[in-house]
């Protein structure tokens, strides 16, 4: 597998590039609910929906503007080999077609979890699924980590949606789900899946009704 290799110079370059790209491509980037109270003594795994090419950029920007943790993003190995620069921003690989490599990536993730400064990003859908797709298919990575990790960590579902309005450019909306404990998820994996799906459904409604905080 390919491990993350953070470089300050890469982050500096990417911050400038991404800010310009987002402003050029979107009218606004809006958070529509409050971030749950995160325990700073515990590490955090965020689990966004995976619906577009933009997804990793949205997570990076959200972390930069709100949490400012050391970011790690699980990324398909074939994509990370192609876009090697993302390794310098904290991406590491997983190969869903090779069970041995997949276990290696999950073990590497478990090595990251004990550090409370880290924010690990895992896409539980495993592949791009349309926002409106039902049923939603989730892989077992979060369940595996919750059961196997020696430390308790926090799991935060995040839903993103690109929404068109009467503006020329679309708006990015983001919504936080309930903050879950890995111990609770280990005892009942259904609560994670239910919260992941519920958060998506609420975003679909609230992006046109709720107040918001802009982070663009």
* 177-188 pLDDT per residue, tens: 999 999 999 999
DSSP 8-class letter at 117:
T
Counting Cβ atoms within 10 Å, is residue 97 exposed (0-12), middle (13-18) or buried (19+)? exposed
Residue 209 pLDDT > 80, yes or no?
no
Q: What is the pTM of this model?
A: 0.93
Band (pLDDT 50/70/90 cuts) for residue 133 is confident
């Amino acid at each position: 597998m390919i491990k993350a290799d953070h470089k300050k110079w890469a982050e500096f370059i990417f911050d400038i590039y991404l800010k310009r790209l987002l402003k050029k491509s979107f009218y606004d980037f809006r958070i529509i609910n409050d971030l749950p109270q995160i325990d700073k003594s515990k590490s955090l795994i965020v689990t966004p929906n995976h619906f577009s090419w933009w997804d990793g950029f949205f997570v990076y920007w959200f972390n930069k503007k709100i949490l400012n943790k050391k970011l790690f993003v699980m990324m398909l190995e074939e994509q990370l080999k192609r876009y090697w620069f993302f390794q310098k921003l904290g991406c590491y690989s997983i190969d869903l077609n090779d069970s041995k490599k997949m276990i290696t990536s999950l073990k590497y993730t478990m090595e990251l979890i004990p550090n409370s400064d880290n924010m690990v990003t895992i896409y539980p859908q495993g592949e791009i699924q349309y926002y409106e797709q039902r049923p939603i298919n989730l892989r077992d990575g979060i369940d595996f980590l919750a059961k196997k990790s020696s430390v308790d960590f926090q799991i935060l579902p995040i839903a993103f949606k690109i929404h068109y309005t009467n503006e020329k450019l679309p708006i990015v909306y983001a919504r936080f789900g309930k903050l879950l404990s890995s111990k609770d998820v280990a005892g009942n994996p259904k609560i994670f899946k239910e919260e992941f799906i519920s958060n998506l459904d609420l975003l679909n409604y609230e992006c046109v009704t709720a107040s918001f905080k802009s982070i663009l």
